[in-house]
Amino acid sequence: MFQSFEVTARPEQGPPRLEALRAELEAEALAGFLVPRADAHQGEYVSARDERLAWLTGFTGSAGFCVALRDVAGVFIDGRYRTQVKAQVADVYTPVPWPDVTLAAWLKEQLPEGGRVGFDPWLHTPGQMEQAREALAGSGVELVQSPNLVDRVWPDQPAPATAPAKVHPLEFAGESHADKRARLGAALSDAGAACAVITLPDSLCWLLNIRGADIPRNPIAQGFAILHRDGAVDLFMAGIKLDDVVDHLGDGVTCHMPDAFLAALEALEGPIRLDKSTVPVIVADTIGDRVQWGDDPCALPKACKNAAEIAGSAEAHLRDGAAVVELLAWLDAQAPGSLRETQVVSQLEGFRRRDNALQDISFETIAGTGPNGAIMHYRVTDVTDATLQDGHLIVLDSGGQYLDGTTDITRTIAIGTPPDEARTAFTRVLMGMIAMSRLIWPKGLAGRDIEAIGRAPLWYAHQDFDHGLGHGVGAYLSVHEGPQRLARTSHVPFQPGMILSNEPGYYREGAFGIRIENLLVVEKAPPPEGGDAHREMLKWRTLTYAPVDRNLIVPDMLDAASRDWLNAYHAETLELIGPRVSDTAHAWLVEACRPL
């Protein structure tokens, strides 16, 4: 079982918690303190113990931070959360649109006379601090290391996660951890490094072919590792987690308790590879002048899935697609006004749990109808639970963690008769999704080079959305995985084996939301039929199969190529998913996949 605790602050709890934190600022003679949504491992996901941002402010988004000063407290959120934050934080907190407004710019405006702002060196990376300090140069604002002041005022802070780790079988991993360690160790040696420090939990779990349950919805075990050039690994993880994996790890992995980590770093001989975007400041400080800056050695190999991982992911998506089709057929049979969002969530999770390979859902299911659908990462609660009414859309974004793969799919469904403006916007989103799915591009391009293709149909209508077009996805690991992304900020070239989401959307605050998402895997593109390949090209292969809601499509808006792609996709969906569903769902699927 995954360890799961709900860590939130009701709006009325925000003021006293902020007041307690400010008392600690006074005691430490600090002008402010940084509160990130981060832990010592610097992954995207944190355990309940590290949900300091949510406990202090009430904001539960997956990215953001708070800067608490003596007289103002800013909650920095990106475009995905600018609607959500308004409903979650008390008026003692000021939402700050980030990265439009940077940390340094805001601090200089709020502290014109300067001041010392504290930060926990376990919870920030050298890259973050370098950037902020450079931007603050000459301002009189100083970022200084500090004890964690939130921990001081959080009386019932959960204990560290201690869920047992388990072996990830070779049939799903596709490569032994001994071979991975040897391969990556040799690459370190070729680069002149003696070793590399690994703090990202998904990197550590991928390298050692283990999984865990320290983070809800993410099968990871938290720890630290040192990978040496000879392939040996020093693993720093609580002993209580390791009982079931000691024999699997073998002689090439030496286990230590986490409190021995910093002393082990001090004893290392350099050069020591560190990734300044994924290690804590305290690690870099401990290494000092022995550092060799570079990428996490696991990041790119982990992103480029091997044949076993791709095959497992493809099979997991077919079983997952069957569960989604069962839900869509059931939903279509319900009368408008007869369901609430929570009922849809429960029903979908019930269909998924019929699969014995399911370990958990891959994130909290998003089921937002009407105005709730415009909240990009909406999570239904007892307070917000809305009725699916005639004319509403519902955005249903969900996924599963299966032993053989991780899934993530979004479908937007019309309830009753949708408004025309929603249908035209939906069709533009669909056009962008299809355009990206059909794309063939030269090897060497990155997300920044091709992401606009999925947005262009919306741009022509002066519309857009405030999230990336797609993210990397793990192989029974985190549903968000780097380093590749379909985003204008991503410089990592695509390589065969990478799995990414393709999820354009459109959100009209107070009215409706739209998102359509499939997962795709990068493959080499064969030469055109009857032609020659003048350069190496790449293409996508779709992994996700579930119909797109015909009731929301304006067929005349689709060009012939887009229509042909959608009809072929629906035909393949019927062929692959049809044999896996009930008779009732199959009858519904036949109609849902009828050609346009």
Q: What is the pLDDT of residues 48-61, one digit of tens each?
A: 999 999 999 888 87
Long-range contacts of 154-157 (CB under 8 A, 24+ apart): 154/52, 154/55, 157/49, 157/55
Q: What is the pLDDT of residues 216-245, one digit of tens each?
A: 899 999 999 999 999 999 999 999 999 999
Q: What is the pLDDT of residues 337-381, one digit of tens each?
A: 999 999 999 999 999 999 988 999 999 999 999 999 999 889 898
Whether the predicted pLDDT of 566 surpasses 50: yes
pLDDT value, residue 8: 65
Burial class (CB in 10 A: 0-12, 13-18, 19+), 549: buried
CA–CA gap between residue 424 and residue 421 (Å, rounded): 5
Q: Buried b / exposed e across 366-388, counting CB within 10 Å, b at 16+?
A: bbbbbbbbbbbbbbbeeeeebeb
Q: What is the pLDDT of residues 526-560, one digit of tens each?
A: 988 877 777 899 999 999 999 999 999 999 999 99
User: Of the candidates 94, 100, 101, 38, which has an alpha carbon nearest to the alpha carbon of residue 64?
Assistant: 38
Whether the predicted pLDDT of 411 surpasses 50: yes
Average pLDDT over residues 315-325: 98
CA–CA gap between residue 81 and residue 86 (Å, rounded): 9
CA–CA gap between residue 330 and residue 348 (Å, rounded): 10
- Alpha carbon 174 to chain centroid, angstroms: 23
Q: What is the pLDDT of residues 324-335, one digit of tens each?
A: 999 999 999 999
Side chain identity at 357, as an amino acid letter? A
Whether the predicted pLDDT of 290 surpasses 70: yes
Whether the predicted pLDDT of 416 surpasses 90: yes
pLDDT value, residue 150: 97
pLDDT value, residue 338: 97
pLDDT value, residue 3: 39
Which stretch of DSSP H or E encloses residue 76? strand 73-77
The four Cα atoms 495, 497, 499, 500 give a dihedral, to 10 degrees, of 20
Average pLDDT over residues 485-496: 96
Q: Where residue 4 falls among pLDDT bands split at 50, 70, 90?
A: very low
Q: What is the pLDDT of residues 496-535, one digit of tens each?
A: 999 999 999 999 999 999 999 999 999 999 988 877 777 8
pLDDT value, residue 9: 65
Q: What is the pLDDT of residues 157-212, one digit of tens each?
A: 999 999 999 999 999 999 999 999 999 999 999 999 999 999 999 999 999 999 99
Q: Where residue 388 falls among pLDDT bands split at 50, 70, 90?
A: very high
Domains contained in the chain, CATH given: 11-153 (3.40.350.10), 166-302 (3.40.350.10), 304-590 (3.90.230.10)
pLDDT value, residue 12: 80
Whether the predicted pLDDT of 138 surpasses 70: yes
Whether the predicted pLDDT of 62 surpasses 90: no
Quote the mean pLDDT of the chain. 94
Q: Indicate the range of 89-93, 101-105, 242-246 predicted with least confidence.
A: 89-93
pLDDT value, residue 10: 74
pLDDT value, residue 562: 98
Q: What is the percent of the chain where pLDDT is above 90? A: 87
Write out 499-563 in H/E/C secondary structure.
Answer: EEEECCEEEECCCEEEECEEEEEEEECCCCCCCCCCCCEEEEEECCCCCCCHHHCCHHHCCHHHH
Side chain identity at 283, as an amino acid letter? V
- Alpha carbon 142 to chain centroid, angstroms: 32
